[in-house]
Amino acid sequence: MERWQAVAAVVFGYLLVTLAVGLLAGRRVTESVAGYVAADRQFGLITMYFITGATIFSAFAFLGGPGWVYSRGAAAFYILSYGVLGMAPLYFFGPKAGRLGRRFGYVTQAQLVAGRFPSRAISLLFALISVAAFVPYLMLQMSGAGIVFSAVTDGHISFELGAALSYGVVLVYVLAGGVAAVGWTNVFQGVIMMAIAWALGIYIPTQLYGGIGPMFDRIAEVRPELLVPPGLDADGSPWSWGAYSSAVLSSVLGFLMWPHLFMKVFTSRDDDTLRRTVILFPTFQLFLLPLFFVGFAGVLFPSAPEQPDWIMPHMILSSGLPAVVVGLFCAGALAASMSTGDGLLHGAASIAVEDGLAPFVTLTDRQRRILMRGLVIALGTLAYFLAIVQKQSLVWLLLTAYGLVDQFAPPVYAALFWRRATTKGVLAGLIAGIVTNIFFLLRPELRPFEIHEGILGVIVNTAVLLVVSLATAPQPKEHADAFVSAPEEPRAAFAGVGR
């Protein structure tokens, strides 16, 4: 058996186990929208921990992270900073949002916002932005899977076939099991990702330089500019502090606003589970370190990959590791890609139906589930063909996506924390934020201090929200209180929740 065949065998083994886990898990939930989208709100700590971790760390972390370190040095450190800061607010507002979900039956972020601010336009805007932001993100995950397959099998399994195989598996278990399948496969995928990342991150620097310390000694001598933020720009010139800092801030703000992530607050069993998930999340965040070590190990390595994003497979293939280990790496990278891709696919379909269609047409529970499954297939196919045709401008698309998602932050925080906010204020702010964001995206040279357009959009969004809300009639007190005061009676809310 040739080496690439052994590698492929390990990868197929991984795909089969994932498929089995997904299909088995899907049989455990009820046939309902709450079952398909929120897993009957029954996820415990272990599941929530790995779902959150595996959903967040995607092919971008596994391939893009080391790729950035390799080509741009400490610029990549921004990825270290935003995760924990982005996640921490969930400790404070997550339990409240989860309780509102249980009380009013919400399964999506837009339902929560439109529950506080009744407006079909808000619901529709959330649905449109979510789907627009998910497609490029999904394309990135599919490209990641394709890259890994074609790199480790020397092209015997093509980019197109690799992406199709891995996302074929995702499609089957998402269709069959909904979020329960996503959850349990993510537990399995999360364990694989973490184990592989730490093993390789320590092994490769030790093998090549005699340890992590000695590796940094060498880099500090030869390329010291790579070790201090803000690092380098894509063209090798120094990156600006404005761009570095606003990359951190824009990601912090947008982090929890990604609808597929936000929706997970509706899947947790109770407040404590959600809190513990947030507390444990930094341990998952630390797994970026070994991935960064592999990127740094590549800096002084004699040969270079075709593109920086290929540094991870390049290092693994060049360091003479046995085929089984290469196969396991491949499984880890696929796990990172698929565990995010499945959530995106499932989230996009759920949101399109729940927020884009349900407010306008009457649909039964069963019709909604059928539509969601149809959209999973349609969106998956669309993203796949876009990923194959257009591989270049993904970073641009993803940055666009983050700026748009940032615009959800003011409405969500206003819904949960500001009694005086009004529907007109939120809608006007949202539209102003989106327009500002798109304007600076198209005219980047006009951005002050190279500040990310998402942040500029949020500033305008918040200002308009404040001014228009104050200029319009306040909401009835009981209505606003039901949303804003929810956290102050935690004991009352616990009463109805069984363990």
Partner 1 sequence: MNATALSPSTAGNPKEGDMRAAVARRLAIAFFSVQTIAVVYPGLVPFSRIEPRVLGLPFSMAWLTFWIVASALVLWGVSVVEARSRRED
Chain residues in the site for partner 1 (CB under 8 A): 74, 77, 80-81, 83-85, 88, 91-92, 211-214, 216, 220, 224, 227-230, 241-242, 244-245, 248-249, 252, 272, 275-276, 278-283, 285-286, 289, 292, 488, 490-491
Phi, psi dihedral angles at 238 (to 5 degrees): -60, 140
CB of 369 to partner 1, least distance (A): 36
Q: How many CB atoms lie within 10 A of CB 450?
A: 17
Give dist(CA 133, CA 441) in Å, integer: 14
Q: How far is CA 258 from the centre of its chain?
A: 7
Q: Residue 89: in which H helix or E strand, if any?
A: helix 89-104
Of residues 205 and 308, the one with the C-beta less far from partner 1? 205
Of residues 202 and 435, the one with the C-beta less far from partner 1? 202
Phi, psi dihedral angles at 127 (to 5 degrees): -65, -45
Of residues 162 and 298, the one with the C-beta less far from partner 1? 298
CB of 217 to partner 1, least distance (A): 8
- In contact, 178 and 37? CB cutoff 8 Å: yes
Of residues 83 and 313, the one with the C-beta less far from partner 1? 83
Of residues 169 and 208, the one with the C-beta less far from partner 1? 208
CB of 127 to partner 1, least distance (A): 31
Of residues 231 and 313, the one with the C-beta less far from partner 1? 231
CB of 229 to partner 1, least distance (A): 5
CB of 326 to partner 1, least distance (A): 27
CB of 94 to partner 1, least distance (A): 12
CB of 449 to partner 1, least distance (A): 9
Give dist(CA 54, CA 57) in Å, integer: 5
Single-letter residue type at 432: A
Give dist(CA 120, CA 359) in Å, integer: 6
CB of 188 to partner 1, least distance (A): 24
Of residues 106 and 296, the one with the C-beta less far from partner 1? 296
Measured at the alpha carbon of residue 359, what is the angle toward residues 353 and 362, in degrees to the nearest 5?
Answer: 85
Q: How many CB atoms lie within 10 A of CB 37?
A: 26
Helices 423-442 and 394-406 cross at an angle (nearest 10°) of 160
Of residues 198 and 439, the one with the C-beta less far from partner 1? 198
| Cβ neighbourhood burial of 498 (10 Å; 0-12, 13-18, 19+) | exposed
Give dist(CA 288, CA 41) in Å, integer: 30
